[in-house]
Every structure is written in C-alpha cells, then in structure tokens.
Amino acid sequence: MRILMVLTSHDKLGGTGEKTGFWLEEFAAPYYTFKDAGAQITLASPAGGQPPLDPKSDEPEYQTRATVRFNEDSASKAELANTLKLSEVQAEDFYAVFYPGGHGPLWDLAEDAHSIGLIENMIDAGKYVGAVCHATAVLRNVRQPDGTLFVNGRSITGFSNAEEEAVGLTKIVPFLLEDDLRARGANFSTGPDWSVHVVDDGHLITGQNPASSEKAAEILLEKLGAA
C-alpha cells in the first residue's frame, strides 16, 4: 500500500515578516496513522528537500501524542528532510495522496501545476485524495476531463472562515478557503471551531482543521481496506 504525502514549500506568511509552512500535527498524525497500518509512505514537496515547518505548530500548546512521537523520531525526521520534488512523482505509483495543511499551501500548492496534474490523474484513475485544513486549497483549480471544476458539487470541508478569523489572518491570507471553495461550487460544510469534522465524498476525504487530520487519515485507510 503506497501513499504519497505532499507538503508545502512556502515559508512566508504574506507580508507580515513571519514564517509559515506546514502544520506539524496535520503531518504527524496522518503519517503515523499510515505508517502504523503498514503503508509505504513517500514524501514530496514542490521544491523537494526539507519542507518549512510553521514554528507555531511546534509550540507546547499544540503538542499531541503524534507530534511528540515525531520530535523523538530521528529516522522520520531524516525522511522529512529529504522529500522528493513533486515534479518527480507519478500518480500511477500510488494508491492515494494526502495533503497536510498549514497556511503554506495557500501560496504554493493551490496554484502548483504539478500538484493539480497529480490530483487530476489520481481522480481519473479512481484513486483517493485526502487533504486537511488549508490544504483543501489544492483542489480549487483541479478540473475534470470535461473541463469543469472538480470541486463543483462536491462535499468538502477545510479551515473555516470563523477559524481564520480566530487566528487573526483573514486579511493576510491570499484568499479565504471557505469562501473560495463555495464560490467554485463546493458544498462546503463546517463543524464547531477546532472540533473534529471530516467529510467523505467517495474518493475525496477532507478534514476541517488540525484535530481532524487523524480521522481523515483513518477514513482514507478504510477506503484502502487497511483498517
């Protein structure tokens, strides 16, 4: 069972001078969910090499069992430091692709041609796509073979407007994820802020926020018959 995980390479939080990147829990929780189920995991990012970690996600208040495990796991840290370039991976080599969030994907993966092509090929082949939090932005420009937007009519979740407001970044992000996907025709749903909310739309599984990342990975495994 081969699963591709794609992380952001973007580390600048707009014009604030602050750093961003991927959110640690959203990587670590799915990573170990897949790993403990016996999956063969490949890590990739647009630039390859070490993806930038949002420093806030490694602060004490955001630590979870999975993040603690990762911070003590030198082998997995070394694996993360050597992600493949996204342009080097092919959909045919994997059963599923999973995108951890963090604010970084809003700037790079949402527009990345290799990512868009990868998702389109995965969907066309009847494979599975998972994304959590801001990473559901990777779906915004994906199209079906007839040229229509993939998200149109799909049931999807992701980081909500209310949660973006709560973290004070509505004026910083390039677009509000909830508004953007709704405008593209998605049936976008949310649960209470910071609660577990995962939406299963057949071959697409999306989670709202960091707390939803483990559940989204578990549902993806169920789809693959591994749970």
- Do the Cβ atoms of 173 and 93 come closer than 8 Å? no
* pLDDT tens-digit series, residues 151-168: 999 999 999 999 999 999
State the residue range of the domain holding 35: 2-223
- Do the Cβ atoms of 1 and 221 come closer than 8 Å? no
In this predicted structure, the answer to whether residue 227 has a pLDDT above a threshold of 90 is no
Q: What is the pLDDT of residue 53?
A: 98
Q: What is the pLDDT of residue 226?
A: 57
Predicted TM-score (pTM) of the model is 0.97
Number of domains present in the structure of the chain? 1
CATH number assigned to the domain comprising residue 203: 3.40.50.880
DSSP 52: P
* pLDDT tens-digit series, residues 85-125: 999 999 999 999 999 999 999 999 999 999 999 999 999 99
Torsion of CA 165, 133, 46, 148, to 10 degrees: -100
